[in-house]
A and B are shown apart, each in its own frame.
Chain A
Amino acid sequence: MTRRRPMVAAGVAAAIVVAAVLASWWLGSEVPTWWNSHLQPWARDTFRWISRNRTHHWLFVDVFTPLARAMSSMVDAVLWTLRSLRWPGLAAVVGVVAWRTGGWTAAAVSLGSLAVIGVVGYWSLTMITLAIMIVAIVVAMLIGVPLGIWSARSPRVSALLQPVLDTAQVIPAFSYLGLLTLAFGIKSPPVIAATVIYAVPPAVRITALGIRQVPVVLNEVGSSFGATPRQHLRKVQLPVARRTLLLGLNQVIMMAFGIVVIGSLLGTGDTGNEVLRGLQKLDVGKATAAGLAIVAAAVMLDRATTGQRLGRPPAHGRAIVGGGLVLAVLGALVAKLGGWAPFPTAWVVDITGSVKHASTWVQEHLRNGIPLIGGTEAISRVLVVDVLEPLRKLLTWLPWLVVVGLFAAAGWLSKGWRLAVVLVGCLAAIAAMGDVAGGGVGRNPMWDLAMDTLSQVVVAVLISLVIAVPLGILAGRSRVVHAVLRPVLDLAQVMPQFVYLVPVLFLFNAGRSAGVVACVVYAVPPGIRLTALGLREVPVTPREAAISFGATSGQELRKVQLPLAMRSVLLGINQTVLLALATVVIAALIGAGGLGLTSLGGMIKQQQNFGPGLAAGLSIVLLAVALDRLTQAWGQGGPTSSGGTNT
């Protein structure tokens, strides 16, 4: 660690802030009206133009409509296959595929998940969900893997793709669902399009990562034997990167299922719609049962396809696969001829009552009357009055250029001038998003909404870390804790967020604190996971050295494990920030306001609100990029450490 002139670095940072203060004294504390990209009127006019020309313009008649038809036919074909197999046939196919790719455990987990779909009572509807998702996942992989290979080979492509992928991954689906409906019509095609937009980024990123990770030696061996680039890719790079590619598929599946509930707004008529209906009637039981079916479908697809079976299958493998397929056909036939129900009604367990009961109990007992802390309502009050409101007031009170200056200084201190420029660019672009027409009362700049959202995200991240880091340490040090936590974390990450909005509403009241809680529930799991991972990956040698010098367990944790695991913990912070921002729209559904509420405009009253909706969605992206780059820099070291600046 060569410490480079920390005094100078701090001095420059201070100078940036002073300059920002002077600039705002000159330019005023509010975003001036001339600093406006005019994105909103442009987006609104484009949207209107599309709504008026979509039924006859060639772009829609000859491009999007045939594409939509192709997608819906694919869904029809897959759905027909799933329905023709019926439950015995589908079970046999899933079992065999999972066994072949991942062995007996994978087969058991997939079959168990498949059973859950039926047991909670949503077999037929979830077949529609599955059909849509399978098509969307195949399309996402067909687009994502080649793009990933291309960007692994060309740094220029990679640099060009980066901002596109960032935007696609973070921009809330609500911001563009209206547009996709205009382009692809209703039902499954626009949902597939939205899923592809959302799920392609991890496919590209992870594929590129996998190809880049292929050891140089192997690459050189290939070329020294005179392999063509294509042979090289097929025979060397792809096989070696297989494990990473499967991780990519896993991420694509998990991201894809995140669209299901929102997608059902467009008329897919699948299980996602049941979650929405449950939410509309405040029926936690129904929402949970339907949510579980969606989770089970995701887990089933994941375990059946991304198994990491190593080496050759046993000799009798072929017999098992063949037998399974014969069983599938037989099962389908028997079920058809026997006129069996889509799923045996006797196996369906109605969990809605008990879930409702449990949720009501929680709502009644955690709200008030807990000794010392009072209950969730008291927590909610403190959060809003003493934390969120002062922070929001501070951020909106500060002249916008000062906020930009503070970010620039932080960027400079964390990594150097390049980062500072990126942060200034992001924030200045948010400021240029213009005003949002309110209820006809006063000016409502997008900047203020962004500061409102920023204050909530900061609080959500801090709370998440307070919860995640200790739990992560526990999970990292104890296998038992890890084993207990893992399924809980999986569920919290995959369960559609709409499912737990009702209890959150009852416990914390509609408002910003409820929004923050929703963000925390979603952002805590990766924090715990990455902290635990970091601790477990600390090499054994320094730990043993510490213990042999007589360090206590606590000392060893503080002096050896935590410092060495710091990078992983910082990565955890980064993920927490991004997930908190990804939840901003969901939070807006329970009263968080801010950018999330405005971004809903892409879906509701679209003719007026598409412009502000898109602008708010892009502001969320810009905020995410700024916070992402800043927190990533913390993991790499700043200008005062060896990470280095160019000055």
Chain B
Amino acid sequence: MKSRRAILGTAAAVCVAGALSGVARATTPPAGSTPSPEATVAPLTTEQPLTKAKVTLAVNPWTGSAVNANIAKVVLESKLGTPVELVDIDENASWPGLDDGSIDANLEIWPSGHAADYETYITQNQSVVDLGPLGPQAKIGWYVPKFVVDAHPELATWEGFKDPALAKLFATPETGELGQFLMGDPSYVTYDEQIIKNLKLPLKYVVGGSEAALLSAIDKAVADQTPLLFQFWKPHWKQLEVPLVEVKLPDVTPECLASAKAADGNYACDYAPDNLYKAASAKLKDKNPDAWALLSNLKLTTEQQSEVAGWIDRDKMSPAAAAARFVTAHADVVAGWLAGGSTPGTTAGTTASTG
């Protein structure tokens, strides 16, 4: 028993020592953070030593987010002498991180899912700052695999789904006589139940529960050639792999947007596009003004982002390598960010979103 006690004692001593040292060094950044050797990749030819304050960027679990963060990392490290740490984190959890400064910036936020976070942290707390649009426009919508529209061209618009016989093509054991409308990750904004009710469509709203549930349903639908109607969005890597068609919903109208704001249950139109935006911790401005300026100026076009995402998803390149390739290939774009000029404007929050 002695040695067990000794072992536990040593473990406890290590912990206590660590704890004390941590309390003493009040500036220690939160841990578990040291990037693993597997995650670090040799930086692009560094033109300056990394002497400036470290910048922590959130990487949310989709390719676009990895593209932006990795490009920013390459530029910050190679041009501005700023070491960058990338943190893989859930999009919801990244807000408290921005709030207290343990994350310096998140470069791709979809406004539709985070209206309440915007209100709390950007408008009220003012601990997080809207750094302006990233550039690409995203769009949520109703989708079917292309073969569905090939067989039934009338299903390219919502009116096709008014026909109960056509809607029944989408029925599953869970929906009985009605057609299934599949929603994936519940963290996405959804008006689908209201749209179905208000347009009087013979459909039943089913929550798959996760993006994986949705993706597996798409894979199966394509493999078995069975119809599937679901909420999806672009940009998404699956769009490169499987031909999907967006179902036309009624145009977005001011009344419809007002109904979304009022949450009165009368939403009956298409989703407004999402203008992806960047957000930074207010503390970054004093900590590392150069990084702040670069992240404010950083902008990508939809094409540029999709191109790099394709290298990662289709060509299986690592995000770091793909980012380095982009920075080398588009030196002029990067030079524009570094030269600056544009000031951050708040475009976010203009999108209809009550979440």
* Chain A interfacial positions (CB closer than 8 Å to B): 48, 51-52, 54-55, 66, 68-79, 81, 97, 100-101, 124-125, 127-128, 131-132, 134-135, 138, 142, 177-178, 181-182, 185-189, 191, 239, 242, 264-270, 273, 276-277, 279-280, 282, 305, 321, 342, 380-381, 384-385, 438-441, 501-502, 505-506, 509-513, 588-593, 597, 600, 603-608
Contacts and interface: CB of A to CB of B under 8 A. Distances in A.
A269 B87 contact: yes
B61 interface: yes
Contacts of B191: 439-440
Nearest to B85: A269
B123 to A, nearest CB: 11
A56 to B, nearest CB: 10
B22 interface: yes
A282 B172 contact: no
Nearest to B194: A440
B60 to A, nearest CB: 10
Which of B96, B185, B209, B211 is most buried by chain A, counting CB atoms within 10 A of its CB?
B209
Contacts of A588: 209
A591 B18 contact: no
A568 B99 CA distance: 52
B100 to A, nearest CB: 6
| Size category, B interface | 35 or more
Given A439-B191, A511-B206, A72 B93 contact: no
Contacts of B33: 72, 187, 269
A185 B1 CA distance: 38
A590 B125 contact: no
Interface in B265-294: 265, 267
Contacts of A438: 193
Given A510-B214, A591-B207, A607-B120, 12 more contacts: A55-B99, A69-B30, A70-B23, A73-B28, A78-B15, A138-B12, A178-B93, A276-B61, A279-B210, A440-B267, A589-B213, A606-B92
B107 to A, nearest CB: 15
Interface in B101-138: 102-103, 113-114, 116-117, 119-121, 124-125, 127
A264 B88 CA distance: 8
B307 interface: no
Contacts of A592: 209
B36 A439 contact: no
Contacts of B39: 124-125, 269
Nearest to A188: B32
Which of A69, A101, A125 is most buried by chain B, counting CB atoms within 10 A of its CB?
A69
10 contacts: A73-B22, A186-B103, A187-B31, A265-B93, A342-B37, A439-B190, A440-B264, A441-B197, A513-B173, A591-B206
B331 interface: no
Interface stretch (B3-11, B45-53, B247-255): B3-11
B22 A70 contact: yes
A77 B187 contact: no
Contact of B32 (A132, A178, A608): A132
B26 interface: yes
A509 B217 contact: yes
A629 to B, nearest CB: 30
B258 interface: no
Contact of B89 (A77, A178, A265): A265
A591 B212 contact: no
Contact of B187 (A181, A282, A605): A605
Contacts of B187: 604-605
B235 to A, nearest CB: 15
A52 B37 CA distance: 37
Contacts of A600: 186, 209
Nearest to A603: B92
A513 B23 CA distance: 50
A604 B92 contact: yes
| 4 tightest Cβ-Cβ pairs between the two chains A and B | A73-B22, A77-B18, A439-B193, A188-B32
A69 B208 contact: no
A269 B35 contact: yes
Contacts of A270: 32
Contacts of A381: 173
A277 B61 contact: yes
Nearest to A317: B3
B192 interface: yes
